[in-house]
Amino acid sequence: MYCDLVSVIYERIDPTKDVASIANKFTTKPKGIIITDSYNNPFFPIRPTPRIDTSKVNLIEVYRRYRENYAKFQGPFLPWHYCVEMIEDRYVVFNTRPIDMKFPITNSYKKEWGDETTQLFMKNNIFDISEAIHILIIGDSNLDIYTLRTYEIIGRICILPFIRYFKLPEGIFQRTFPLNMGKRFKIDLITKFVHR
């Protein structure tokens, strides 16, 4: 039932978006960084599970659900450049899309966007989502609890290298945006770890 509903709401992603070509590559520097969770994701929500990020590997389920709900064919990549999840007692970052490939959809993809930050981001057209580096945190940010180490890993591994290399502004809501993130995710804590 849920899969049928998802197919109606979202178009399936064309597999050519995951093929190495000039059209799918960044031609200029990435315009910013977008952080989302898997459950409340404004572009490709992964539901009904995994909702809580447990100590086991959930990335396999995220791949499976993304492919069955959103991909036309079994492409090798997820749409997000990085996936962050807890395995046993620590958070691990997986590179799930080549960092020189664009996100497979643009700002014109969907009209209903979720929380106020996401709506303002899309309404003001700050930059096109296809031109951003996307970080996915597995789980529901309204329920999961994040340690300071989580923010450090996201800041130092996923965000800081892009800020340094492409000389992007460090401040949250300048070029780094949490879209549709829940109340338990404290975006301000990332600022401690993204200074050049």
Q: What residue segments make up the domains of the chain, in order of their start?
A: 2-11+29-193
pTM of the predicted structure, to 2 decimals: 0.87
Query: What is the reported pLDDT for 1?
Result: 39
Query: What is the reported pLDDT for 3?
Result: 43
Cα 161 from Cα 155, distance rounded (Å): 9
Query: What is the reported pLDDT for 9?
Result: 44
pLDDT along the chain (196 residues), means of 10: 42 57 81 96 92 89 92 84 93 95 86 82 91 96 93 95 90 89 93 80
Choosing among 3.30.720, 3.40.50, 1.10.510, 3.40.80, the CATH entry for 2-11+29-193 is 3.40.80
